[in-house]
């Protein structure tokens, strides 16, 4: 059995490796996105700023500070004011680039992230609204904050793993079925379990290898460091790609239409891309959006990767992410194998 | 008599079609058994049901006297009618990867030599010709040195020379004592390769015997082909079957003398007339009224 799995693993991996265009795309695409995005974000900030207001009272954020100048600030359009109950939570979000500024109504202090262009903008707006009468004291971060690219990077890695897994397994299996390759395997003494295990292993190998290459490439380009252990990061991505591949198998369990598979993969990947905080934080978005986000495996991959890379989390710190990814993978695999036909 | 494969009352339908409509046959060890019929006759469905790709609606299939079990997949070799292979892999890699799936493996060099794969071993399998691909698929089917070999239209779409190559390979396999089930819509192929031919049409076997016996039984006469359409009523006075096939008239008769005399008496232009002995194609025409290659 192991030998048969190994045989199909080798064949599938070679097939991918020799498809130079796909290989190149899998490596170059994420790097291009990172470069593109950091260039874009340096010159052109997102139009919406997010400002956290720390207030103990159960009042709406807009009413916690009665100050004429501050009210002017609150009236500025395109700023999303988010209420926090604790200063620590608000500052934590600020450190993770989830919000651009924190204002504490009790101590009349504000915090911004010095490395964030949005933080600078928010500060200027606050100063303008105060009309130089300086009600608020400034506290800024220098060391604890992270560069935007460091925040973005784990998300891009996660997204790349998602696309690579879903297309590499979901789309390819459907193509195999359409072209009769699955039919040919079905008459050989290969059990579906063996065939699918080989597909999973081959794709995990490809996803992890390209993740390593992209990681090294980006680190060389931007020179930042992963605060946690690389092993932890590797385990997280192994689980993450396993989960996405299982989802790919589920998508490809029956259909022989590539157009259908393509559509389903799109329907799954696009919401995940935008609701898993790959590009921007969901802080301050509607509660249902945040709830939906918590169900998406990519959210937990990206979350975990950020915890490891930006905060130095260990495997123990990521218990929740790990348990969630394993549970969801098993569910996908179970359903996929129930539905599977050659 | 010992049979390697027995099929009894096999039925398989799809919405609106009875693809296999009560087919029975038994195949002794070591022969080449042919299912001959036009496209859509039910040949492929029949062998796909036997191979296990499709489930029968009804019927019994016995391999070596027993229901098919895990041994079946290990011991048979299968060439499907159309198969794409994994991209970017060379002929050798594809062959090895299929061969590795079996417990019993044919000698690699023998396979390569038997299927004339020497020159294309390191070529990407998408960049080989139709005939070469068919030989590769044949080699894959032989990779486990099978006792029973299924060949589903192995020469469809090939040029005459490539077809000859495949026939040579099949003859070699036959000489090794293997049992072969082959489907084809080429009369010459069935006549050349098969020890027993079952002629299929619309899901049923309409005649089954060795090619010689079939011809002796049904086709003792000759077939006269006339190039142009003539007044068909005249032919009714002759003791013959006649058919209009591709703008020619085919007359099947056991009394060519009388037939020709009538044609000449009636002043029919016989320029371009062909008189030949009958073959399985004529038999099919006789049994069904339609052409084999329609």
pLDDT of residue A44: 43
Distance from CA of A10 to the nearest CA of B (A): 8
Which structure tokens are listed for B35?
């299912």
| CATH number, domain containing residue A127 | 3.40.190
Q: Which of A93, A114, A141 is the last residue of a domain?
A: A141
Query: Where are the domain boundaries for CATH 3.40.50.300 in chain B?
Result: 3-216
Separation between Cα atoms, residue B253 and residue B240, nearest integer Å: 5
Measure CB to CB from residue A18 to each of B88, B94, B98 and give the nearest one.
Answer: B88
Return phi, psi of residue B238, to 5°: -100, 150
**A7 and A62 together in one domain:** no
Based on the fold, state whether residues A10 and A152 are members of the same structural domain.
yes
- Among chain A residues, CA nearest to B144: A188
Instruction: Quote the pLDDT of residue B196.
Output: 94
A316 interfaces chain B, CB cutoff of 8 Å? no
Q: Which of B176, B192, B172, B173 is nearest to B184 (CA)?
A: B192
DSSP reduced 3-state for A104: strand
Residues of A in contact with B97 (CB under 8 A): 7-8, 10-11
Per-residue pLDDT at B23 exceeds 90: yes
Tokens 């794409």 -> residue: B84
Query: Region B183-208: what's the mean pLDDT?
Result: 91
User: Starting from the edge strand earliest in sequence, which strands make up the sheet with A101-104, in order?
Assistant: A79-84, A49-54, A101-104, A109-113, A137-141
Question: Which of A76, A109, A141 finishes a domain?
Answer: A141
Q: What is the pLDDT of residue A234?
A: 93
First vs last C-alpha separation in chain B: 37
CA atoms within 13 A on the CB side of A162: 26
* Closest by Cα among A248, A303, A251, A252 to A275: A303
pLDDT, tens digit (0-9, with 9 covering 90-100), for B201-242: 999 999 999 988 988 888 888 888 887 666 667 777 777 778
Do A24 and A170 share a domain, yes or no? yes
Split at pLDDT 50, 70, 90, the class of A104 is: confident
**A73 and A196 belong to one structural domain:** no
Within 8 A of B73 by CB-CB distance, chain A residues are 187-189
* Between A58 and B285, the higher pLDDT residue: B285
A64 plus A127 within the same structural domain: yes
3 state SS of A54: strand
Q: Does residue A224 sit in the same domain as residue A304?
A: yes
Neighbours of A72 (CB within 10 A): 15
**Nearest residue to A164 via CA among A117, A214, A130:** A214
What is the 3-state secondary structure of chain B?
CCEEEEEEEEEEEECCEEEEEEEEEEEECCCEEEEECCCCCCHHHHHHHHHCCCCCCEEEEEECCEECCHHHHHHEEEECCCCCCCCCCEHHHHHHHHHCCCCCCCCHHHHHHHCCCHHHCCCEHHHCCHHHHHHHHHHHHCCCCCCEEEEECCCCCCCHHHHHHHHHHHHHHHHCCCEEEEEECCHHHHHHHCCEEEEEECCEEEEEECHHHHHHHHCCCEEEEECCCCCHHHHHHCCCEEEEECCEEEEEECCHHHHHHHHHHCCCCCCCCEEEECCHHHHHHHHHCCCCCC
Q: What is the mean pLDDT of residues A269-282?
A: 82
Q: Is the distance from CB of A98 to CB of A283 less than 8 angstroms?
A: yes
**Residue A83, domain extent:** 45-141
* Identity of the residue in B88, B101, B140 whose CB atom sits nearest the CB atom of A15: B88
Judgement on whether residues A97 and A202 belong to the same structural domain of the protein: no
And the tokens for A168?
């590499």
Residues of chain B with Cβ-Cβ distance to A180 below 8 Å are 80, 82-84
Q: What residues 24-83 of chain B have any CB closer than 8 A to a CB of chain A?
A: 51-53, 70, 73-74, 78, 80, 82-83
What does the block give as tokens for B120?
Answer: 């294309």
Edge-first strand order for the sheet with B3-14 is: B17-28, B3-14, B58-63, B66-67
Same domain, A30 and A129: no
The rounded percent of chain A whose pLDDT value lies above 90 is 22
Instruction: Tell me: do A314 and A220 sit in the same domain.
Output: yes
pLDDT band at B107 (very low <50, low <70, confident <90, very high): very high
Residues A200 and A288 in one domain: yes
Predicted TM-score of the model (pTM)? 0.76
Lowest mean pLDDT among B5-14, B30-39, B93-102, B268-277: B268-277
Residues of A in contact with B100 (CB under 8 A): 3-4, 7
What are the residue ranges of helices labelled H in A223-296? 230-251, 258-275, 287-295
A30 and A156 fall within a common domain: yes
pLDDT at B272: 82
CA distance B181 to B185: 14
Q: What letter would DSSP give residue A171?
A: I
Q: What is the pLDDT of residue B50?
A: 94
Q: Specify the pLDDT at position A43.
A: 44
Q: Please judge whether B86 and A181 are an interchain contact, meaning their C-beta atoms are less than 8 angstroms apart.
A: yes
What residues of chain A lie within 8 A of the CB of B45, using their CB? none
pLDDT of A52 reads 85
pLDDT of A324 higher than 90: yes
What's the CA gap between A197 and A200, in Å, rounded? 5
Residues of chain A neighbouring B86 (CB-CB closer than 8 A): 11-12, 15, 181
Q: What is the per-residue pLDDT for B38?
A: 85
- Beta carbons within 8 Å of B185's beta carbon, 6+ residues apart: B36, B37, B38, B39, B153, B156, B292, B293
Q: For residues A100 and A126, is the Cβ–Cβ distance under 8 A?
A: no
Q: Are residues A319 and A129 in contact, defined by beta-carbon separation less than 8 angstroms?
A: no
Q: For A188, name the nearest residue in chain B, comparing CA atoms only.
A: B73
The residues, ordered by sequence, that sit 6+ positions from B139 with a Cβ below 8 Å of its Cβ are B95, B111, B112, B114, B115, B117
B221-277 placed in CATH 2.30.30 = no
Q: Of A124, A141, A158, which marks where a domain is finished?
A: A141
Compute the half-sphere exposure of residue A262: CA atoms within 13 Å on the CB side of its CA: 4
**Are residues B89 and A3, on separate chains, in Cβ contact within 8 Å?**
no
State the Cα–Cα distance between residues A201 and A198, nearest whole angstrom.
Answer: 5
* Whether residues A59 and A14 fall in one domain: no
The structure tokens listed for B112 are 């390569």
Q: Choose the closest CB to A11 out of B80, B83, B97.
A: B97
Give the total number of structural domains in chain A.
Answer: 2
Cα B120 off chain centre by: 27
B269-272 contacts: CB < 8 A, separation 24 or more?
B269/B228, B270/B226, B271/B227, B272/B226, B272/B227, B272/B228
Element (H, E) at A48: none
Instruction: Nearest by CB to A7, from B51, B80, B97: name it.
Output: B97
Q: Which residues belong to CATH 3.30.70 in chain B?
A: 221-277
B97 touches chain A (CB under 8 A): yes
B3-216 — its CATH code? 3.40.50.300
Q: Is the pLDDT of residue A152 over 90?
A: no
Q: How far apart are CA B253 and CA B264, in angstroms?
A: 16
B145 has a chain A CB within 8 A of its CB: no
pLDDT(B8) > 50: yes
Q: Do B89 and A14 touch (CB under 8 A)?
A: yes
Mutation to test the B interface, candidates A9, A174, A182, A184, most B Cβ within 10 Å = A184
CA distance B106 to A300: 49
A243 band by pLDDT with thresholds 50, 70 and 90: very high
pLDDT over 80 at A149, yes or no: no
Cβ pair A208, B110 in contact under 8 A: no
Nearest-Å Rg of the Cα atoms of chain A is 23
CA B99 to chain centre: 26
Chains A–B, number of C-beta pairs less than 8 Å apart: 64
């Amino acid at each position: 059995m192991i030998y048969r799995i190994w045989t199909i693993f080798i064949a599938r991996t070679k097939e991918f490796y020799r498809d130079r265009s796909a290989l190149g795309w899998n490596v170059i695409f994420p790097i291009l996105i990172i470069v593109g995005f950091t260039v874009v974000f340096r010159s052109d900030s997102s139009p919406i700023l997010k400002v956290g207001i720390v207030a103990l009272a159960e009042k709406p954020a807009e009413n916690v500070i009665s100050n004429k100048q501050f009210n002017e600030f609150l009236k500025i359009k395109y700023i999303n004011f988010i209420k926090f109950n604790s200063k620590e939570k608000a500052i934590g979000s600020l450190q993770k680039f989830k919000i651009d500024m924190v204002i504490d109504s009790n101590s009349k202090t504000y915090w911004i992230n010095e490395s964030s262009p949005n933080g600078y903008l928010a500060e200027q707006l606050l100063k303008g609204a105060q009309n130089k009468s300086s009600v608020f004291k400034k506290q800024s971060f220098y060391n604890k904050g992270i560069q935007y690219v460091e925040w973005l990077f784990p998300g891009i890695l996660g997204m790349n793993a998602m696309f690579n897994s879903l297309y590499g397994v979901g789309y390819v299996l459907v193509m195999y079925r359409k072209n009769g390759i699955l039919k040919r395997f079905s008459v050989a003494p290969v059990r579906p379990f063996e065939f699918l295990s080989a597909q999973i292993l081959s794709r995990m190998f490809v996803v992890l290898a390209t993740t390593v290459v992209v990681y090294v490439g980006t680190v060389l380009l931007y020179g930042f460091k992963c605060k946690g252990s690389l092993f932890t990061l590797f385990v997280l991505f192994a689980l993450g790609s396993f989960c996405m591949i299982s989802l790919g198998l589920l998508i490809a369990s029956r259909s022989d239409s590539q157009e259908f598979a393509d559509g389903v993969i799109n329907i799954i990947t696009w919401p995940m891309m935008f609701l898993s905080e790959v590009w921007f934080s969901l802080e301050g978005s509607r509660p249902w959006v945040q709830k939906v986000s918590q169900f998406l495996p990519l959210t937990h991959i990206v979350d975990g990767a950020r915890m490891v890379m930006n905060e130095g989390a260990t495997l123990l710190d990521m218990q929740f992410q790990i348990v969630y990814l394993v549970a969801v993978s098993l569910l996908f695999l179970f359903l996929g194998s129930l539905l599977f036909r050659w | 008599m010992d049979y390697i494969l027995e099929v009894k009352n096999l039925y398989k339908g799809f919405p609106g079609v009875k693809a296999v409509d009560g087919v029975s046959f038994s195949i002794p060890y070591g022969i080449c058994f042919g299912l001959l019929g036009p496209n859509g006759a039910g040949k492929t469905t029949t062998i796909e049901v036997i191979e296990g790709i499709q489930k029968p609606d009804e019927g019994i299939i016995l391999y070596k006297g027993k229901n098919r079990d895990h041994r079946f997949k290990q011991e048979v070799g299968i060439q499907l009618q159309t198969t794409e292979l994994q991209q970017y892999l060379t002929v050798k890699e594809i062959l090895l990867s299929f061969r590795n799936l079996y417990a019993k493996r044919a000698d690699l060099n023998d396979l390569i030599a038997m299927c004339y794969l020497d020159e294309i071993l390191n070529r990407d399998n998408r960049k080989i010709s139709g005939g070469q691909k068919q030989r590769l698929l044949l080699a894959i089917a032989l990779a486990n040195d099978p006792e029973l070999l299924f060949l589903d239209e192995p020469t469809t779409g090939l040029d005459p020379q490539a077809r000859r190559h495949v026939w040579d390979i099949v003859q070699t396999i036959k000489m090794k004592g293997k049992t072969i089930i082959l489907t084809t819509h080429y009369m010459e192929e069935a006549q050349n390769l098969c020890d027993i031919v079952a002629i299929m049409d619309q899901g049923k076997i309409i005649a089954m015997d060795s090619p010689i016996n079939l011809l002796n039984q049904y086709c003792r006469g000759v077939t006269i082909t006339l190039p142009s359409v003539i007044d068909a009523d005249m032919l009714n006075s002759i003791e013959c079957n006649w058919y209009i096939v591709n703008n020619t008239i085919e007359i099947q008769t056991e009394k060519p003398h009388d037939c020709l005399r009538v044609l000449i008496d009636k002043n029919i232009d016989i320029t371009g007339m062909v008189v030949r002995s009958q073959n399985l194609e004529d038999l099919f025409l006789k049994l069904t009224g339609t052409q084999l290659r329609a």
